[in-house]
Chains A and B, each alone.
Chain A
């Protein structure tokens, strides 16, 4: 497989959405191709970093009040 094909499969490889044969081909390829190895490593890192840039927050109390008010005024009597 050439680099272009490897790069196309990188996400499937990372997500383990890949056939065994192809997975092995990728692993063989990156042993000898620095370029694809770099792209794989940095893509994985990009995903990891994306996961940590957001901190989960709680709905602020004030907003929560508004939310429940908005819902309650719609209740059928």
Chain B
């Protein structure tokens, strides 16, 4: 049975159909939670809250977007709320703007072929992970949805109710900020 049929059945009160939709999407939503929120406990909360909310608001789901996009919307709203409440080391919007400003002294050594870049380089992963986590929530969420989860600009625009130019700007700034952090790492390592 396809998604549309399952959604229709679930809306008319078929709980088995709803459970099938959960089954098909739960890993995606859980991983989104892990990536945005950074730990298992919060990802577990996100998972439960997303499906409880989805179940409760199912009668309002009009099918204008796909069920996936709709779920992502619920999940990212929850994640953003959670991130905003949290007190962790976030960088300022100004800092992130600076990193993408051409006037700013960008680190320009080309480390893209540095032999230190190995997918098993745990230190490098740690630095990057930390840098992603320090992005302001509205940047981090978009960066993860686009560059890591591979969602399209228009999907993200639907999920977050933001214009495509706004989304593009945030992706761009996030990338350049992260690039800068990695450049600092390679500089310290002596390139």
B94 interfacial by beta-carbon distance below 8 Å: no
Q: How far, in Å, is A64 (CB) from chain B's closest CB? A: 7
Question: Given that A54-B35, A67-B26 are known contacts, is A42 also in contact with B55, CB under 8 Å in the complex?
Answer: no
Indicate the member of A11, A56, A57, A74 with the most B CB atoms within 10 Å.
Answer: A11
B147 interfacial by beta-carbon distance below 8 Å: yes
What residues of chain A lie closer than 8 Å to B113, measured between beta carbons? 41
Question: Given that A4-B103, A11-B168, A35-B108 are known contacts, is A51 also in contact with B18, CB under 8 Å in the complex?
Answer: no
Q: Is the CB of A67 within 8 A of B22?
A: yes
How far apart sit A51 and B168, CA to CA, in the bound complex (Å)? Answer: 18
Question: Given that A59-B30, A74-B56, A76-B13 are known contacts, is A53 also in contact with B125, CB under 8 Å in the complex?
Answer: yes
Q: Is the CB of B171 within 8 A of A11?
A: yes
Q: Is the CB of A47 within 8 A of B27?
A: no
Q: Is the CB of A44 within 8 A of B112?
A: yes
Question: Given that A51-B147, A63-B44, A71-B19 are known contacts, is A37 also in contact with B27, CB under 8 Å in the complex?
Answer: no
Residues of chain A in range 25-77 having any CB-CB distance to chain B below 8 Å: 34-35, 37-39, 41-47, 49-54, 56-59, 63-64, 66-68, 70-72, 74-76
Closest to A75 in B: B15
What residues of chain A lie closer than 8 Å to B157, measured between beta carbons? none
A17 interfacial by beta-carbon distance below 8 Å: yes
Q: How far, in Å, is B146 (CB) from chain A's closest CB? A: 9
How far apart sit A35 and B147, CA to CA, in the bound complex (Å)? Answer: 24
How far apart sit A1 and B102, CA to CA, in the bound complex (Å)? Answer: 13
Q: Is the CB of B179 within 8 A of A39?
A: yes
What residues of chain B lie closer than 8 Å to A12, measured between beta carbons? 168, 172
Residues of chain A in range 1-18 having any CB-CB distance to chain B below 8 Å: 2-5, 7-8, 10-12, 17
What residues of chain B lie closer than 8 Å to A10, measured between beta carbons? 172, 176
Indicate the member of B55, B56, B109, B179 with the most A CB atoms within 10 Å.
Answer: B179
B182 interfacial by beta-carbon distance below 8 Å: yes
How far apart sit A53 and B47, CA to CA, in the bound complex (Å)? Answer: 21
Q: Is the CB of B52 within 8 A of A56?
A: no
How far apart sit A3 and B102, CA to CA, in the bound complex (Å)? Answer: 7
B6 interfacial by beta-carbon distance below 8 Å: no
Q: Mark B15-34, 1 if CB is under 8 A from A, else 0.
A: 10011001000110011001
Q: Is the CB of A38 within 8 A of B124?
A: no
19 sample A-B contacts, Cβ–Cβ < 8 Å, listed by A number: A4-B102, A8-B100, A10-B176, A11-B168, A11-B175, A34-B110, A35-B106, A35-B108, A45-B112, A46-B182, A49-B117, A50-B147, A53-B125, A54-B35, A57-B34, A58-B30, A68-B22, A71-B52, A71-B55
